[in-house]
Structure 1
Amino acid sequence: MPRSDRLFQILTTLRDGHLHRAEDLARRHAVSVRTIYRDMDTLVASGVPVQGARGVGYRIGDTTTLPPLTLTPQELEALNLGIAIVSEVADPDLKSAALSLADKVDATQPERSVTETEMWKFATYPFADAVRGFSQMSTLRAAIRARQKLRLTYHSKGDRITTRTIRPLHMEYWGRVWTLTAWCEKQQGFRGFRVDLIQSAEALPEMFVDEPGKRLSDYNANL
């Protein structure tokens, strides 16, 4: 029997919620106990929530296995907002489940390389800040589509609150952190803003057009 078929059969067996000894599983599938141990390690590494230990037995708790999913940026945004909200509740079990789910979502995201000077932007941050950031998403997205300038009140590095006018160009997800790439009129340069650190975003009546040196393509060309 191919190993993949055996793993699937073991998974089906463990789903009954009962404790199954490695010796019994080995006998059922005509393999060694050591092989069953390796199979269990493989299932755990694959994200299957196997409970138990060698010499005791194994089972799978009450879980739901989802097939591979492809999420749109908006769906991913909604999922992360839900995680952020649930993680702030008082129930310790729900909080723990939310943090565990966040780790699983993070694990599905492609790795990015960022310069050392930008690393502070992507540090782990309190989920309460994430909820505040998500509340700005609709305004940011609308301004990017309409090419409309924004007035941001922003929690800058060093606990400074600053206000600046920007040309919003692009938003990107970095694993729990959304960032906004923009041309900052105050600094006369491109800036990356953590969305969760935006205190407020006000759409201004002023639109903007592409200008050499201030376009997203110019920003990307310098990466």
Structure 2
Amino acid sequence: MRRSERLTEIVEIIRDGRLHLARDIAEALEVSERTIYRDIATLIASGVPVDGERGVGYMLREPVFLPPLALSMTELEALSLGMSIVQEVADEELRLGAKTLHEKIASHALNRRKSPEAWGFGLYEFKRVRDGLKFMPTLRHAIRNREVLRIGYHSLSDKHSQRSIRPLQTDYWGRVWTLSAWCETRGDFRAFRIDRITDCNATGTTFTDEPGKTIEDYLRHIEETMRTDQHH
């Protein structure tokens, strides 16, 4: 395990509000207590709010709470891009800070609905995030103005398709952005990962809300699907 990964693991272990002895952390990560003491010192020096001392234990306190309503979707876009840039630097403490900040934002953002496990919280390289977010101005404009888009999409199953869509809403899931839309090509709702959109063009055609094709209809569909899955 690389040191940067170990630092992240220590933060995850001690963030549950309980005291954790260095001995127990060392056993969990299969390193020496001396290594844990050095890592704790590194975390404290880098500004991570760790409380405790040798022989007593360590815990993470979080005195700074970032209200989710303080961030607009555009600000979340900037955060997503900025944290990806930080992930490219050589300073492992900064990379750790970027990772934990992303996790806090993801866990508190009101716009983040229950995320499919497959999306997870993987670290995306800067180029991939940059390439995905380049379509955001077009998407935002189309959502505001009810404009049909023509997109190219490369699915997770490695299939490429061209779609005509009614864009309804963008969502941030913690390093993954999705676009909820009514897909005119498929005649159904779809959630597209924005980083997998290969091209995005305005058609000049506008649409009006129709029953069964609105964002409210889509959210009700998701809730009904989740309830059905829970009963099976």
Which category describes the TM-score, using the shorter chain as reference length? Answer: 0.5 to 0.7
The equivalent of 2:171 in structure 1 is 172
Displacement after TM superposition at 1:100 (Å): 3.1
Deviations 1:141-179 (A, max 9, x none): 100011111111112121222221111011122222221
Compared with structure 1, are the counterparts of its residues 48 and 189 closer, same or farther at alpha carbon in structure 2 (3 Å cutoff)? same
Structure 2 contact 123–175 (Cα < 8 Å) conserved: no
In the other structure, the counterpart of 1:127 is 124
Which amino acid is the alignment partner of residue 49 of structure 2? V
Q: Which amino acid letter does the alignment assign opposite residue 121 of structure 2?
A: T
Give deviations 1:170-213, integer Å, cap 9, x for gaps.
11222222211101111110001112222221111211122232
Structure 1 counterpart of 2:55, one-letter code: R
Alignment match, 2:148 = 149
- Same amino acid, percent of matched pairs: 41
Rounded Cα–Cα distance in structure 2 between residues aligned with 1:208 and 1:106: 32
> Which stretches in structure 1 are left out of the alignment for 5+ residues?
1-43, 59-64
Q: Secondary structure at the match of 1:144?
A: helix
Deviation at 1:125, TM superposition (A): 3.7
Q: Spell out, residue by residue over 1:10-57, the C-alpha distance to the aligned partner (whole angstroms, 9 max, x if none).
A: xxxxxxxxxxxxxxxxxxxxxxxxxxxxxxxxxx9xx723475337x9
Name the CA distance, whole Å, in 1 between partners of 2:106 and 2:219.
24
| Residues 32-51 of structure 1 mapped to structure 2, 5 A cutoff | 48-50=49-51
Query: Matched residues in 2 for 1:145 and 1:196: separation?
Result: 21
Distance 1:73 1:214, change over 3 A: same
Instruction: Give TM-score scaled by structure 1 length.
Output: 0.63
Q: Cα distance 1:85–1:192, how it changes in 2: closer, same or farther (>3 A)?
A: same
Whichever residue aligns with residue 151 of structure 1, its letter is R
Q: Which residue of 1 is the match for residue 98 of structure 2?
A: 98
Matches within 5 A, 1:22-33: none
Q: Provide structure 2 residue ranges, at least 5 long, that are not aligned to the other structure.
A: 1-43, 223-232
- Could you tell me how far 1:74 is from its partner in structure 2? 2.0
Q: Which amino acid aligns with 1:167?
A: R
**Residue number in structure 1 paired with 2:214:** 215
Counterparts of 1:12-31 in structure 2, within 5 Å, are none
**In the alignment, residue 101 of structure 1 is paired with which amino acid?**
L
Partner of 1:81: 81
Q: Indicate if the aligned counterparts of 1:133 and 1:196 stay in contact, CA closer than 8 A.
A: yes
Q: 1:102 to 1:220 in 2, by over 3 A?
A: closer
Q: Which AA in structure 1 matches 2:129? A: A
1:199-210 matched pairs, under 5 angstroms: 199-210=198-209
Per-residue CA distance 1:42-94 (angstroms, 9 max, x = gap): xx9xx723475337x99xxxxxx756442222222211210012213455444
Q: Is the 8 A contact 1:88 1:127 kept in 2?
A: no
Q: What code does the residue aligned with 1:95 have?
A: R
Q: Secondary structure at the match of 1:162?
A: strand
Match of 1:40 in 2: none
What is the RMSD computed on CA atoms of the aligned residues? 3.0
Instruction: Find the aligned partners of 1:170 and 1:192 in 2 and give their Cα distance.
Output: 10
With over 3 angstroms needed to count, the CA separation of the structure-2 counterparts of 1:191 and 1:67, relative to structure 1, is closer
Tell me the distance in 2 between the aligned counterparts of 1:98 and 1:149: 36
SS at match of 2:166: strand
**Cα deviations by residue, 1:101-138 (Å, 9 ceiling, x for unpaired):** 32333343357335xxx543x23344233222222111
